[in-house]
Structure 1
């Protein structure tokens, strides 16, 4: 995915305010061995790109006045109550160095899981993204979480995930091994509770 930007010569609060009034978003690209560069981007184009999940977990091509480089989205500042992007940060990536990125989880086969289909359980997504490290070329857009075999009362933990080749959980996630999804009983039910029988009709 390519993002078009231009170098931003004027800086400061007043200059940023004028940019926003003109439908632009101030930003910065930093990292690697090059100096940070102040940039500006078209607000509407950026706003629609930010609505795509892949924009947040992909190596992007940033085109600044025709010069292209590989970057990751690192931070976005939003207006407190308007759907307006106030500032955006990109970090340069080196294809030979591992990156640390949050990757979204896609939960599959929830409806056919025994704990849901026959057990009446409720699916709980404990987390919706996970921290991984990998080379930029191995970065997945998402990690699949197959819940198809899960019974009621069971959960899937981070170390249970099937990761693409070259992708690893960050060390503290491996050690903590948090739950990412579970199938639980709805409130008020017990695991061996049968559906209540209708009362017998009174004798005539």
Structure 2
């Protein structure tokens, strides 16, 4: 009977101790929380307190992101990506992301680039068609420009010919007027000279 009482009391004390370990952890101060990661190629256990003698409350995979809450006796109090809070060996915690995280980031970046490339490739036929249409319009405009230049050249030549013709006509008109004036002057001179003769005879 006495042994049963001792066994029951021992179990009760152990239960209360375990409960105290899990419930009496310090409340994280959000102002002091920092980011951290479990180093690569490692699988560690999370303890209820700062030491291996505290019970294990879970495990954390390599490269997992953490929130660093506190440090004590070579252990770091952390909060993992599942929302669990516990203590891990501080040697296995890094403030830089590990290869697993970097590889995942690279994979995400490659996936994004592949999606962008696929989207651009899907737009390529449409862009090629637009390029063909623009080239055709450009060829038509070049033809119109060449025709306009040809017409302009012909018009300039026609204007030059007309100008030359007008110059010749003006010269001919001037010569005709001069000849007419000269002839008219000669006629008047002859008429006047004859009148003088007639007047002398009278």
Structure having the higher Rg:
2
Q: Flag the structure with more relative contact order, 1 or 2, with Cα contacts below 8 A and sequence separation at least 6.
A: 1
TM range (shorter): under 0.3
Q: Name whichever structure is richer in helix by fraction.
A: 2
